[in-house]
Amino acid sequence: MAWPIPICKAPATAFLSALLIICSNVNGHDSMREAENYPPLWDNVPNSLAGFVTIHNKTVINPWNYLERMGMYKILLSVTAKYMESFGPRNTGNVLWGLPLQHGWQFNTGRLADPSDATSCGQQTGDPLCISTTSWWSCMNYYLATIPFLGAVEAGFFDEWPFEIEMSPPEEHVDDFCYNTRDCHVLIPDTMAKWTNFFQLLKKTRDISQSRLLPSISPEKDNVWRHIWIAHVSSIEAALPKFSERLTYISAPEAQFGVSWGSAVEFIAAAHFPTNFNQTNVFQVYLPQRMLLAHDKAPSIPDLSKKENWALVALDILYEGNKVTDGGLLKFWRRAMCSERGREEGRNLLENIVSNPDLILPGMRKILVEFIKNYNCSITDA
């Protein structure tokens, strides 16, 4: 059913307001310096399956240890590198970089530790490498770490490995997670299938010719980004209702930030935004570098940078704008992103938020034009 034109104005206004807040309070020039930040303890992370324990013909990975969970990401980056040669030099263009870099930020900012303080898991005074099952962030990330890895297993990336691969369960909340490909097809069949499909598609990308990076992406590469974002969003959608109770262990501002960040990912996903090494590092400086406390209120949190403060405000605007329009804001954005041209303009706009504020308003006008042009476009899995 088509939207009446007056209703369309509300999503557009909320989205434009969020962008204006970001671009008017950010020094974009400094943000575009090429980042060289690898995840914490990257050199200590296992880089092959041989780095994990194998017993009784099973290689067992402990996803409740930071080094081992991060090891899954490092291995995925390694085994997919040959399919990513045209995406960027030295594997920096790998489409999977966003996942380990996000996990490293979670670890660095204490978001993987037990927020209830009932245990010392993740605390410097206890086991700093421990990942808590009480942490909302760690449980959400499980679905963006273990599920992609097992999807790659099922897609045949480790067929030469002579042992079965399995995850070790936590001591608590065992039923909230899956531990091998069979379990995951039972617990979250749709999400597991989407990650497997992504890795199967990736095997066909070896011959993709070199194309320009942002804002233009070849149709073949765009299809790769489309499928990884479909799988990524599916993981978030599967995990959100399952772990909502974990939000009670963290402060209200932190819970709001987590939920609004999860919602914002859907906007980024619709543009098929490349989460390669450099782009992820550039945009990750906007995320708060510590857990938010009960008294924190952006944009006036004194020990957070201006970028972090205003990013929190913008995320709230996007979340609340989408909520009050009953999902209309996201529908507006997805419809604008429904064509290759729209996604190109969307990526360009997202990049200009930090790199060239003078181009924000012209970019907004282009997004509105693309929305109008794509008005009758289907936005299912766009």
Which range, of 76-90, 120-134, 215-229, 283-297, averages the lowest pLDDT? 215-229
**Measured in whole angstroms, how far is the alpha carbon of residue 259 from the centre of its chain?**
13
Over 50: is that where the pLDDT of 72 sits? yes
Cβ-proximal residues to 235 (8 Å cutoff; 6+ apart), any chain: 143, 144, 147, 148, 191, 195
Over 70: is that where the pLDDT of 357 sits? no
- pLDDT of 6 reads 35
- pLDDT of 356 reads 56
> Residue 268 and residue 316: Cα distance in Å, rounded?
15
**What are the distances in angstroms from CA 74 to CA 54, 281, 378?**
19, 16, 36
Q: Which two tokens stand for residue 14?
A: 């909320």
Report the 10 Å Cβ neighbour count for 47.
13
Cβ-proximal residues to 375 (8 Å cutoff; 6+ apart), any chain: 2, 335
Cβ-proximal residues to 301 (8 Å cutoff; 6+ apart), any chain: 288, 292, 308, 309, 312
Which range, of 22-31, 82-91, 121-130, 332-341, averages the lowest pLDDT? 22-31
Over 90: is that where the pLDDT of 256 sits? yes
Q: Which two tokens stand for residue 78?
A: 């390694």
Q: What is the mean pLDDT of the chain?
A: 86
Yes or no: say if 339 and 370 are a contact pair by the CB < 8 Å rule: yes
Q: pLDDT category, 16, cuts 50, 70, 90?
A: low
Mean of the pLDDT values across residues 252-264?
A: 95
Q: pLDDT category, 65, cuts 50, 70, 90?
A: very high
**Measured in whole angstroms, how far is the alpha carbon of residue 177 from the centre of its chain?**
19
- pLDDT of 28 reads 39
> Residue 40 and residue 32: Cα distance in Å, rounded?
21
Mean of the pLDDT values across residues 179-196?
A: 97
Peptide bond into 189 cis (omega under 30): no
Quote the percentage of the chain above a pLDDT of 90. Answer: 62
Quote the percentage of the chain above a pLDDT of 70. Answer: 83
Mean of the pLDDT values across residues 5-12?
A: 43
Q: Which two tokens stand for residue 295?
A: 């008294």
- pLDDT of 123 reads 92
- The angle subtended at Cα 239 by Cα 114 and Cα 380, nearest 5°, is 150
Yes or no: say if 288 and 304 are a contact pair by the CB < 8 Å rule: yes
Mean of the pLDDT values across residues 217-240?
A: 92
